[in-house]
Structure 1
Amino acid sequence: MRADRLVSLVLLLRRHGRLTAPALARELEVSTRTVLRDIEALSAAGVPVYAERGRHGGFALLPGFRTELTGLNHDEALALLVAGSRRGAQAFGLGSALASAMLKVVDALPESHRDTAAGAVQRLLIDPETDLLSRRQVAEEVPDAIVAEVRRAVFAGHRLRIRYAAVGQSPKWRTVDPVGLVTVRDQGYLLAMRSGADRTYRLSRILAAEELSEPAQRPERVDLDRAWQERSTRFRTGGDQVTVLVRLDPARREELVGTALAVRAEETDADGRLRLEADFQDSRHAVWALWQLATSAEALAPQWLRTALRDRAAAIAASYTSQPES
Structure 2
Amino acid sequence: MAKWDNMLSMLWMLRSGRKLTAAQIADDLEISVRTVYRYIDALCASGVPVVAESGHDGGIRILDSFKEAPLFFNAVELKALVDAFKFAQGAGYPYTEELEGALKKVENGLHEEQRCDLSSQTSGVDVISPVRPPSGILLLRDLEQAAKEGRTVCIAYRKENAGQAGERKVDPYGLAYDRNEWYVVAFCHQSQAMRTFRVDRIARLEPTEARFEKPERFSASAFFRDQSKREREADGPLTVIRIAGEPDTLNAVCRHWHLRHYLTERTDREARFLLDVPTMNKYLPVYLMTFGTAIHIREPLELKRQIQETACKIAKHYDDDPD
Q: TM-score, normalization: structure 2?
A: 0.57
User: 1:182 offset after TM fit, Å?
Assistant: 0.8
Q: How does 1:89-238 map to 2 (within 5 A)?
A: 90-123=91-124, 125=125, 128-129=127-128, 138=130, 143-169=136-162, 170-195=164-189, 197-235=193-231, 237-238=232-233
**Per-residue deviation at 1:189?**
1.1
Q: Shift of the alpha carbon at 1:175?
A: 1.6
Equivalence for 2:34: none
Residue 6 of structure 1, CA deviation: 7.5
What are structure 2's unaligned runs of at least 5 residues? Answer: 19-27, 30-49, 52-59, 72-80
- The aligned amino acid for 2:121 is A
Residue in 1 that maps onto 2:8:
4
Cα pair distance change 1:314/1:247, threshold 3 Å:
farther
Contact persistence 1:246–1:300 (CA under 8 A): no
Shift of 1:96: 4.0
1:115 Cα shift? 1.7
Query: Is contact 2:159-2:201 (8 Å) kept?
Result: yes
Secondary structure, counterpart of 2:64 in structure 1: helix
Aligned residue identity for 2:146 = A
Indicate conservation of the 8 Å contact 2:245/2:296, yes or no.
no
CA shift, 1:87, in A, is: 4.4
Q: What do residues 34-55 of structure 1 show as CA deviations (whole Å, max 9, x unaligned)?
A: xxx999726322x29xxxxxxx
1:173 match: secondary structure: strand
Change in 2 beyond 3 A, CA 1:172/1:275: closer
SS at match of 2:139: helix
Please give the residue correspondences for 1:50-61 in structure 2 after superposition, counting only pairs within 5 Å. none
- Shift, 1:317, TM fit: 9.5
Q: Which amino acid aligns with 1:201?
A: F
Separation (CA, whole Å) in 2 of partners of 1:215 and 1:43: 51
**Separation of aligned partners in 2, 1:43 and 1:224:** 47
**Counterpart among 246, 253, 256 of residue 253 in structure 2:** 256
Counterpart CA distance in 2 for 1:185 and 1:238 is 23
In the TM superposition, residue 9 of structure 1 has moved relative to its aligned partner by 8.3
Displacement, 1:181? 0.8
Q: What one-letter code is carried by the residue in structure 1 that aligns with 2:290? A: W
1:148 is matched by which residue type in structure 2? Answer: R
Contact 1:159 1:211 in 2 (8 A): yes
Taking only aligned residues, the RMSD between alpha carbons, in angstroms, comes to 5.1
Unaligned runs of 5+ in 1: 14-18, 22-28, 31-36, 49-65, 69-79, 130-136, 267-271, 320-326
Whole-Å separation in 2 of the counterparts to 1:113 and 1:318: 71
- Separation of aligned partners in 2, 1:317 and 1:273: 34
Indicate the percent of aligned positions where both proteins have the same amino acid.
17
Give the Cα–Cα distance (whole angstroms) in 2 for the partners of residues 7 and 160 of structure 1: 51
Q: Output one character per residue of 1:206-241: Cα deviation in whole Å (capped at 9) or x when no partner.
A: 111123343323224324443332223223x159x9
Q: Describe the shift of the 1:217–1:7 C-alpha distance in structure 2 as closer, same or farther (beyond 3 A).
A: farther
1:307/1:282 CA distance change after superposition, 3 Å:
closer
